Amino acid sequence: MKWSIHQLRKHRQGPLLLDEVVNLDSVKKRHEEIRAIQPVRVSGTCSIGEKKLTCQLRLEGSMTLPCARTWEDVAYPFSIESIEQFSWDEETLQLDDEIHPVEGEIIDFTPVLEELILLEIPLQVFCELADDMQQVEGKGWSYTTDEELEAQRLEAEVTVDPRLAGLANFFESDKE
């Protein structure tokens, strides 16, 4: 999505309505865990001022991420709402750090849309088969939930090795 400032100034009398489908495959290069991304629907409105463009955006789409347990593909739908500002005036840019600078006469939305999607990536996603992993174990390892681990700890505290049972009363004897 690229627009020229000259083109945008023609729409100054009212808000500019957006409703486009954008291919953002380039976001896969910026984050290695994104295996695929479907075309993203970008909708919203933009208000054009003398020195600034303010857009209220909504991004809807789906990306494919790896499952944290099985490493299988998981479709992760997202819906992002954001207000983004662009300016081509140096004074306006110095007043606010959150305004995206425009270099030249073209406003490029692609890097901003990529950043919004990157911020939406969760730390972990799980596929439907991830719950079945609770019974899995291999040579030298096994899958254990936090509840099972706590139960094993409590059981280990109660159980005393029979070879060491005689030492339990060692300090209680008064014979000297």
The reported pLDDT for the residue numbered 72 is 85
Residue 152 and residue 87 share a domain: no
Residue 92 and residue 80 share a domain: yes
Residue 151 and residue 100 share a domain: no
More confident residue, 174 or 74: 74
Say if 165 falls within a structural domain: no
Residue 149 and residue 80 share a domain: no
* pLDDT of 169 strictly over 80: no
Residue 88 and residue 143 share a domain: no
- Domain assignment of residue 148, given as a range: 130-160
The reported pLDDT for the residue numbered 176 is 53
* pLDDT of 8 strictly over 80: no
Provide the strand spans (E) within the chain.
2-4, 16-22, 36-37, 40-48, 52-66, 73-87, 99-101, 106-108, 137-138, 141-142
pLDDT tens digit sequence for 93-151:
777 777 788 887 888 888 888 899 999 988 888 877 666 555 566 677 777 778 888 88
Q: How many percent of the chain have pLDDT more than 70?
A: 86
For the entire predicted model, the pTM comes to 0.68
Residue 46 and residue 26 share a domain: yes
- Each as own residue / partner, the long-range contacts of residues 72-76 (CB below 8 Å, 24 or more positions apart, any chain) are 72/127, 72/129, 73/35, 73/36, 73/127, 74/125, 74/126, 74/127, 76/121, 76/122, 76/125
Q: How many domains does the chain have?
A: 2
Say if 166 falls within a structural domain: no
